[in-house]
Chain A
Amino acid sequence: MPQSFFVFFSNKLYSLGNLLQRWNVPIKLQMSRQVASSGVPGGKGSSSGFVLIVGLSTLGAGVYVSRKVVHGKKLQYISPVKHLKLSNVSPAAPGARPEVPSHVPFLLIGGGTAAFAAARSIRARDPGARVLIVSEDPALPYMRPPLSKELWFSDDPNVTETLRFKQWNGKERSIYFQPPSFYVPVRDLPFVENGGVAVLCGKKVVHMDVRGNIVKLSDGTQISYDKCLIATGGSPRNLPAIERAGKDVQQRLTLFRKIEDFRSLEKISREVKSITIIGGGFLGSELACALGRRARTRGLEVIQLFPENGNMGKVLPEYLSNWTTEKVRREGVNVMPNAVVKSVSVSGNRLMIKLKDGRKVETDHIVAAVGLEPNVELAKSAGLEVDSDFGGFRVNAELQARSNIWVAGDAACFYDIKLGRRRVEHHDHAVVSGRLAGENMTGAAKPYWHQSMFWSDLGPNVGYEAIGLVDSSLPTVGVFAKATAKDTPKSATEQSGTGIRSESETEAEASEVHISPSFSPTPQVPKQGEDYGKGVIFYLRDKVVVGIVLWNIFNRMPIARKIIKDGEEHDDLNEVAKLFNIHED
């Protein structure tokens, strides 16, 4: 069927058919982490109709922006919806349309990843649906991971303007899910023929009347709805020591989350001599590595300090956390574990950080990456429950808080029928839960079932993907590809033995699969048989695998997902590890 469609298309509609033929990338490489699991905004290959769909997705999925952007005019992605030309929409109705409709069938509070995924899901399932996104952010919906990863590695000097990055297959895209032309102007939403998605930027919902099904915005506007999604995400936490410290210190602080934080930090990294990142988790470590790379070329000092024993100390078992810390150091970062901040003050024109153990750190700028506080302000007026263990709005397995109200993304504390009650702060979860909420808002009544995944890169040598409960306090079993006896403790440039070779092979693979620029591997000496080059780590709860980390091996997420879904007890995890073919690339 698909091939005949393809042929039909290319015969009958030449230019359209040609568009279909543009896709010439083989299947294996088609999965990038950002689209592999759940597909927003790009495409996961499904079993049937693959060629067609893959071809079609080049047309409008927003995955690949046309070359036209390079040759043609620069697109202003940032303009709020109200400045959009109305030429694409049916001519204006007589009289003045209200700027904001007084009623919308689908109201999405929050303009991030979860809201966008929900909007797409609603539109796919409900023909002609009219969806209004109300976002406090001035920007249209965009994806966050590149802000601490790909955008820092771009060769483009205008990257802070364009916010475009290169994907694994060399093609560029913007962090925005869709360009402005995808959206309908807010005032036209009730009138446009086939419905659409409109985004009201820079407005905050401050009050919610759950019985009357009506919300109030910061400027007093009221909007009633039929179905509502709360996808308000979270705000970066701050350290109490810094909050106490006063304005002089606050001026030299970045709480990293949004586009403007990326822009400001990028500028600062070119102006100061020393930046200190507080926090040893995903965001802190990724930023440290990104800045560390600049450190080498620009004489910038990059320090990272955190209370745990090593980077990713709450996620990776200790031996791996230690190993990762060494890698981060090799990226040019001065990593200081076991560091608890006592106070911060301004001294001269610099910042002085005093640690509880007496050590002092002098620096010019601080980036705090110490966690996310879910935005649950609406809980009060809406009378919604907030979870005391995980934070966030408490919802059931179908992401529903109450009739007609769903919550998705970082702000949702939900019931996962396999792994129990959780709250997850990852991109793919926002996509999966947003999509599910959209399905349930259009009548699906499905529980949270499809496990989301997450990933991280720490420089060109360490990359991993993970799924499920990845908590270092759980017992773990790690299975790594052993270096052969042929290994010599020499530098990695001498490619002898699977251990060393596998590292440089995975590196080549890594730059194919995700967009890390290809660097030559840093010469290093693996310890006798103890190089954690690649492998798989299982996290267990009563002999059942509840979490998996794929360490420097890729394209194995489906089998990992299957093992968690099965929820079986396994006696010998080495046998389970065999399913992952860790010795191959």
Chain B
Amino acid sequence: MSYCRQEGKDRIIFATKEDHETPSSAELVADDPDDPYEEQGLILPNGDINWNCPCLGGMASGPCGEQFKSAFSCFHYSTEEIKGSDCVDQFRAMQECMQKYPDLYPQEDENEEKEKSSKDLEATPMEASAAKEEKGSS
């Protein structure tokens, strides 16, 4: 049995697991998908890219920010069959820029790539399904 106690203005409830397993009657306000103030994700409601998304970290603001924005925008709006295949120049420019700043954009060397490749292949299905979950819950 859950029980509760009052200590002055503070109320203390000890809730059992069983108690909390019953559905909550608390009502939450429905989210407005067009809320202009709500923290926005990577893609804005109008389809534009939110360069200020925290998820991008420093990518859009660092020394290679312009190259990154150019490459990613190109990809985002690309209508080619292989999406982004018309953006190779932008990606190359981005990579060239990033190579100039190894502190900021760490480059892997060959040996480490080989070691990691088997681990990464295992990881990819997990990432893919995680990404699916995330999309589903948005």
Contacts and interface: CB of A to CB of B under 8 A. Distances in A.
A480 B2 CA distance: 10
A343 interface: no
A178 B55 contact: no
Contacts of B65: 123-124, 127, 194
Given A47-B134, A477-B11, A18 B108 contact: yes
Contact of A181 (B4, B103, B123, B133): B103
7 contacts: A16-B98, A18-B113, A45-B55, A124-B65, A446-B36, A477-B11, A481-B15
Interface in B30-86: 36-39, 41-43, 51-66, 68-69, 75, 82-85
A120 B43 CA distance: 18
A446 B17 CA distance: 42
Contacts of B101: 60, 88, 181-182
B127 to A, nearest CB: 5
A13 B91 contact: yes
Contacts of B8: 318
Interface in B73-125: 75, 82-85, 88, 91-92, 95, 98, 100-108, 112-113, 116-117, 119-120, 122-124
B127 A319 contact: no
Given A24-B120, A38-B54, A123-B61, A62 B104 contact: yes
B126 A26 contact: yes
Interface string A1-36: 111110011001101101101111011000000010
B81 to A, nearest CB: 11
A563 B13 contact: no
A523 interface: no
A121 interface: yes
Contacts of B113: 15, 18
Given A179-B104, A578-B24, A21 B57 contact: no
Interface stretch (A51-59, A408-416, A453-461): A51-59
Counting from the closest, the 7 A-B pairs by CB-CB distance are A39-B54, A61-B57, A47-B138, A66-B106, A46-B41, A24-B123, A123-B61
Contacts of B123: 21, 23-24
Contact of B37 (A125, A446, A562): A446
A439 interface: yes
Given A66-B106, A123-B65, 15 more contacts: A8-B85, A24-B127, A47-B135, A49-B55, A60-B98, A62-B104, A120-B58, A180-B103, A181-B63, A450-B38, A450-B39, A480-B12, A572-B25, A574-B13, A579-B28
A44 B15 contact: no
Interface string A71-111: 00001000000000000100000000000000000000000
Range class of the A interface residue count: 35 or more
Given A27-B133, A572-B25, A481 B17 contact: yes
A65 interface: yes
A364 to B, nearest CB: 38
Contacts of B62: 60, 123, 178, 182
Contact of A529 (B11, B14, B85): B14
A439 B40 CA distance: 13
Given A53-B55, A60-B98, A574 B39 contact: no
A349 interface: no
Contacts of A54: 55, 127
Nearest to A538: B11
A182 B13 contact: no
A348 B29 CA distance: 65
B15 A482 contact: yes
Interface of A: 1-5, 8-9, 12-13, 15-16, 18-19, 21-24, 26-27, 35, 38-51, 53-54, 56-68, 75, 88, 119-125, 127-128, 178-182, 184, 194, 196-197, 317-319, 435, 438-439, 446-447, 449-450, 474-482, 484, 498, 529-530, 562-563, 565-566, 568, 570, 572-579, 581-583
A124 B134 contact: no
Contact of B15 (A26, A57, A574): A574
A484 B42 contact: no
Contact of A22 (B42, B88, B108, B122): B108
A106 to B, nearest CB: 12
A544 B97 CA distance: 52
Contacts of B42: 46-49, 53
A257 to B, nearest CB: 25
A449 B106 contact: no
B127 A577 contact: no
Contact of B13 (A184, A318, A479): A479
Nearest to B54: A39
A51 B128 contact: yes
B15 A318 contact: no
A577 B13 contact: yes
B112 to A, nearest CB: 7
Contacts of A46: 41-43, 53, 55, 138
A68 B106 contact: yes
Nearest to A25: B123
Contacts of B25: 572, 575
Contacts of B124: 21
Contacts of A182: 58, 62-63, 101, 103-104
A124 B52 contact: yes
Given A47-B135, A53-B55, A482-B16, A127 B66 contact: yes
B102 A40 contact: no
B17 A498 contact: yes
A124 B41 contact: no
A170 B138 CA distance: 28
